[in-house]
Structure 1
Amino acid sequence: MPKPLAPMYSPARRHRLFTPANLRSSALPAALVMLMLLGATLARIGAQTGHAALYAADRRQAMTEADASRFAGAGVLMCYSDFGTLERAAAAWLIGTHDLVVMNAHNFVDRRLAPTHPVTNCFFRIAGGDYYFDEDSLRIGASVESKALHITDDWALLRLLQPTPQTVKPQPAPDASDIATGARFKVVMVLPAGHSNSRLAATTESCDVYRVDEPSEGHTRRVRHDCNDGYGGSGSGLFTEDGRLIAMHSASLDMNQKRPFDIETHFGSALLFEGELAEAIRDAASKPR
Structure 2
Amino acid sequence: MTDPMVRRLIGASLLWLLIASFENLNAQIVDIALYPQDGRRLMNEADAARFAGAGVLMCYSDYGTLERGAAAWLIGSHDLVVLNAHNFVDRNLIPTHAVGDCFFRIAGGDYYFDADSLRIGASVESKGLHITDDWALLRLIQPTPEGVKPQPLPDASDIATGSGMTVTMVSPAGHSNTRLPATVEACAIHRIDEPTESHVRRARHDCNDGYGGSGSGLFSEDGRLIALHSASLDMNRMRPFDIEAHYGSAILFEGDLAKAIWEAVEKPR
TM-score, with structure 1 as normaliser: 0.87
3-state SS of 1:254 partner? coil
The answer as to whether partners of 2:155 and 2:224 remain within 8 angstroms in 1 is no
Q: Deviations over 1:68-89 (max 9, x none)?
A: 1101100000000011100000
- 2:242 matched residue in structure 1: 262
Q: Note the 1:268-279 alignment, pairs <5 A.
A: 268-279=248-259
Partner of 2:118: 138
Could you tell me how far apart the structure 2 residues matched to 1:228 and 1:99 are? 30
- Superposed, 1:199-218 pairs within 5 Å as 199-218=179-198
Q: 2:80 matched to 1:100?
A: yes
Q: How far apart are 1:257 and its partner, in Å?
A: 0.7
- The aligned residue for residue 52 of structure 1 is 32
Cα drift, residue 41 of structure 1: 6.3
Q: In terms of mean alpha carbon deviation, does 37-46 or 187-196 score higher?
A: 37-46
Does residue 102 of structure 2 align to residue 122 of structure 1? yes
Equivalent position amino acid for 2:6 in 1? L
How far did residue 47 of structure 1 move?
4.0
Contact 1:51 1:196 in 2 (8 A): no
Q: 1:178 deviation in Å?
A: 1.2
Q: Distance in 1 between matches of 2:17 and 2:167?
A: 41
Do the aligned residues in 1 keep the contact of 2:204 with 2:247 (CA within 8 Å)?
Answer: yes
Gaps of 5+ in 1: 1-19
* 8 Å contact kept, 2:70–2:213: yes
Match of 1:12 in 2: none
Please name the residue that 1:13 is paired with: none
Structure 1 stretch 111-120 or stretch 173-182: which is displaced more? 173-182
What is the aligned partner in structure 2 of residue 23 from structure 1? 6
Tell me the SS of whatever aligns to 2:4. coil
Equivalent of 1:165, from 145, 169, 183? 145
Percent identical pairs in the alignment equals 72
Any stretches of 5+ residues in structure 2 without a counterpart? none
Give the Cα separation in 2 of the matches to 1:125 and 1:35.
40
2:206 aligned residue: 226
Q: Does 1:91 align with 2:74?
A: no
Task: Tell whether the 8 Å contact from 1:48 to 1:256 is kept in structure 2 after alignment.
Answer: no
The superposition leaves residues 25-44 of structure 1 with CA deviations (integer Å, 9 ceiling, x where unpaired) of 9x86xx95x88887776655
CA RMSD, Structure 1 to Structure 2 (Å) = 1.9
Query: Is the partner of 2:78 in helix, strand or coil?
Result: coil
Pick closer, same or farther for the CA change 1:41–1:159 going to 2, 3 Å. Answer: same
SS at structure 1 position matched to 2:229: strand
- Give CA deviations for 1:97-118 in whole Å, capped at 9, x if unaligned: 0000000000000000000110
Write the distance in 2 (CA, Å) between the matches of 1:91 and 1:265: 25
| Alpha-carbon distance in structure 2 between the residues aligned to 1:135 and 1:216 | 28
Separation (CA, whole Å) in 2 of partners of 1:284 and 1:210: 31
- Whether the 8 Å CA contact 1:48–1:258 is kept in 2: the answer is no
Return the match for 1:76 from 56, 67, 74.
56
Do the aligned partners of 1:77 and 1:123 also contact (CA within 8 Å) in 2? yes
> Deviation at 1:258?
1.2
SS in 2 for 1:23: helix
Task: Tell me the TM-score normalized by structure 2.
Answer: 0.93
Specify the code of the residue in structure 2 equivalent to 1:234. S
Pick one of 74, 87, 112 that aligns with 2:92. Answer: 112
Pairs aligned (count)? 266
What one-letter code is carried by the residue in structure 2 that aligns with 1:21? P
CA distance in 1, matches of 2:130, 2:236: 21
| Secondary structure of residue in 1 paired with 2:6 | coil
Q: Report the CA distance shift for 1:147/1:24 in structure 2 as closer, same or farther (over 3 A).
A: closer
Superposition deviation, residue 21 in structure 1: 2.6
Change (3 A) 1:37 1:261: farther
Q: Does 1:66 align with 2:46?
A: yes
Pairwise CA distance, 1:126: 0.4
Report the alpha carbon displacement of residue 53 of structure 1 after superposing the two structures with TM: 2.2
Report the Cα distance in structure 1 between the residues aligned to 2:87 and 2:105, rounded to whole angstroms.
15
